[in-house]
Chain A
Amino acid sequence: MRTTSARYLSPSVLVSLLAGLVFSYPFLWMFLSAFKTNKEIYQPLLLFPADYEWDAFAALFSEKYLDFSRFFMNSVFISCLQALFATAVTACAGFAFAKLNFRFKGALFLLAVLVILVPKQALAIPLFEWLTWLELNGSRWAVILPGIASGLGIVFFTQIFSRIPNELIDLARVEGASLPRTFLAILPLVAPALVTYGLIHFILAWQEHLFPLLLLSDANQTLPLGLAKLRDSSHRIPEAVAMAAATFTLVPVVVLFAVFYGKMRTALAELTLH
């Protein structure tokens, strides 16, 4: 019987810990760089700053260089709504593809797969024209609405719903539940999958660079664009400010992930077993 300390010092722990440190060490460096001077940042091997100055954080939040909170709120608004709508729409579509019979089902599913295959960036120009016609250009909805159509989500939810036994659906129909009612009734069964997909979509929307760049007006810009502005050498902003901002862009994703980690694990395990 091994003791607790031996279990925590096994080779597996050491290997995993080493890999974890290699993967995340640059982020520790990034956080500590928010306290450094430019001269210290340009020496990448230096981890700890000579002294801890909060100037960069102060400059960031007093909005000396750019309106950081506005960028932050825009990002939160766009990513949250996009993840929410995308999950709702693709879950409905996945349910329909997995459990209902209708004409052109195969062709429509193929269309969903094709949507995955066309690089989103390649659609930028037709999308721009379309959104101009809808007079949405520049508003935050210009980024939210196109982001809802997700082929990956449809395929994912079709897989998930096809695991739900047909008898359950039949039972609900026999009891006289309408189709929307049936759908709502089995939603709790796939809650982990809903959370997982929403989280992944949130992360991808949070990282989106090209569409916000093309479509958003100056007042509605998101964090990736703000960060690019901070890094733009023509403004002579200290590197430490960009490092402080970069640290804050991680916070919402990390928090969401920590909250939903358990659910995500359940959903991924379910996807594996069958």
Chain B
Amino acid sequence: MPLGLSVDLALQNPDYVPEYREDAAPQGGEEAGSATSGTVDWLNVSWEPEEEAVSAPVEKYLGLGNFSYVLGDPKFHKALKNTALYVLATITIALPLAFFLAHFLRQVPGRIRPVLSFLLLLPGFCLSGVLATLFQLFFHGREGALNQWLVVPMGFDPINWLLDPSFVLPALVLQAVWRWTGFIVLFFLCGMEAIPKSYYEAAKVEGAGAWRVMRSITFPAIRHVAVFAAVFLMIDGFASFSGAYNLLGGSGGILDSGLLLVTYLYQVAFPGGSGQFDFPAAAAMSLLVVPLTALMLFLVLFGRNRLSKA
């Protein structure tokens, strides 16, 4: 089990500093003297590469060095951008889709409604490994179902979903939408079923159109659930690991076009994929994610409070 082994190694050598972090070690002008000696130590070590894991050169706090290193890392920027895009795309596709499916499901006779919502929920019950397997075998490649049923009939060339850099992220988004839409439909449906029938009758008496009914009755009723679903998708998106990990095998996909934050965190912290081995930077990175999600969550909850007061 390579992963377990890597963690063992890490625990034995907690102060191991990898080669590419050379620039992050010395910080600030006052420390010029010690910084030079640190660099010399480092050079000595790097001449004997087989010992570099045993005799780690630097053993001191870096202050904010890890943060500044992470913030300047172009790969981290890429991962951040990809993740933001992934989360936004998932939310903007899944929420309206789920709303309309719930709207249609509500008009379905009650006896077959559970069966139909159950069909939508099936991907959400599934292990992400199974979803990835299905995606690879069923959707992927020139002969895959997605290409043959959707892309080719629309007059496009078949898309190589996991090898074309511009389609890796859409493939991940597609997987997330496929997985979570059913749950959101269930949430919306329960919300809509809880609306008293008299509301609709009153609206009908007053001559409200379908759009007016939806805007004044249905939307406000499912507002809380929609917020909950958005928060859930957001957290799942920022922390999403297993989907991308199973689909892309721990790499960022071709040209890192599908590199998500947690995948990168994993790459930096564990030597498996890329050979880098750096817990402090990984810790700094995971802490940098927190204010980001906190900000978004705050915005969403703040918006909800304002809405419910209005």
Contact yes or no, B191 A272, CB < 8 A: yes
A154 to B119, CA, bound (A): 30
On whether the beta carbons of B129 and A231 are closer than 8 Å, the reply is yes
Answer whether residue A145 sits at the interface, using C-beta atoms and an 8 A cutoff: no
Question: Given the complex of chains A and B, what is the CA–CA distance between A7 and B283 in angstroms?
Answer: 57
B308 to chain A: closest residue by CB: A274
Decide: B3 and A114 in contact? CB cutoff 8 A. no
Closest to B113 in A: A16
Asked if residues B7 and A246 are in contact (CB atoms below 8 Å), the reply is no
Chain A residue nearest to B196 in the complex (CB): A273
Among A99-107, A125-133, A171-179, the stretch that binds chain B is A125-133
State which of A19, A24, A29, A209 has its C-beta within 8 Å of the C-beta of B242.
Answer: A209
A227 close to B127 (CB less than 8 A): yes
Residues of A within 8 A of B224 (CB): 271-272
Chain B positions 133 through 176: 1 when the CB is less than 8 Å from some CB of chain A, otherwise 0? 11001110101110010000000000000000000000000000
Give the residue of B129, B143, B194 whose beta carbon is less than 8 angstroms from that of A227.
B129
The range of chain A's interface size is: 35 or more
Tell me if B109 and A7 are in contact (CB < 8 A): yes
**What's the Cα separation between A24 and B123 when bound, in Å?**
7
Tell whether B293 is near chain A: CB-to-CB under 8 Å: yes
Residues of A within 8 A of B108 (CB): 10, 12-13, 16
Within 8 A of B (CB), among A93-125: 113-114, 116-125
**Taking the nearest CB of chain B, how far is it from the CB of A138, in angstroms?**
9
Q: How far is B297's CA from A44's CA once the two chains are assembled, in angstroms? A: 40
Question: How many residues of B sit at the interface, in one of the four size bands?
Answer: 35 or more
B9 CB–A CB distance under 8 Å: no
Stretch at the interface among B44-52, B73-81, B84-92, B262-270: B262-270
Q: Which of A60-68, A81-89, A250-258 lies at the interface?
A: A250-258
B129 to chain A, nearest CB (A): 5
Q: Is the CB of B286 within 8 A of A231?
A: no
* B282: A residues at CB distance < 8 A: 122, 125
Which of A50-58, A183-191, A261-269 touches B? Answer: A261-269
Q: Contacts of B117 on A, CB cut-off 8 Å?
A: 20
User: How far in angstroms is the closest Cβ of chain B from A124?
Assistant: 8
Say whether B294 faces chain A, with CB atoms less than 8 Å apart. Answer: yes
B138 to chain A, nearest CB (A): 5
Is residue A30 contacting chain B, with contact meaning CB distance below 8 A? yes
Is there a chain A Cβ closer than 8 Å to B238's Cβ?
A: yes
Interface pair A26/B119, CB less than 8 Å apart? no
A26 in contact with B134 given A118-B286, A119-B239 (CB within 8 Å): yes
Is B63's CB within 8 Å of the partner chain A? no
Q: How far is the CA of A197 from the CA of B94 in the complex (A)?
A: 22
Binding site for A on B (CB under 8 A): 1, 3-4, 7, 10-11, 101, 104-109, 112, 114, 116-130, 133-134, 137-139, 141, 143-145, 148, 178, 181-182, 186-187, 190-191, 193-194, 221-222, 224-225, 228, 235, 238-239, 241-242, 245-246, 261-262, 265-266, 269, 279, 282-283, 286, 289-290, 293-294, 297
Give 25 CB contacts A-B under 8 Å. Answer: A11-B104, A12-B106, A13-B108, A23-B119, A23-B123, A23-B182, A24-B122, A119-B265, A119-B289, A120-B239, A121-B241, A121-B265, A125-B269, A206-B127, A209-B128, A213-B3, A227-B127, A227-B129, A239-B137, A242-B133, A249-B127, A268-B186, A268-B190, A268-B225, A272-B191
Seen from chain A, the residues whose Cβ lies within 8 Å of a Cβ on chain B are 7-8, 10-13, 15-17, 19-21, 23-24, 26-27, 29-30, 33, 41-45, 113-114, 116-125, 128-129, 132, 152, 203, 206-207, 209-210, 213-214, 218, 223-224, 227-228, 231, 239, 242, 246, 249-250, 253-254, 257-258, 261, 264-265, 268-273
**Top 9 closest A-B pairs, CB basis?**
A20-B119, A122-B286, A268-B190, A119-B239, A269-B194, A272-B191, A12-B107, A253-B125, A246-B130
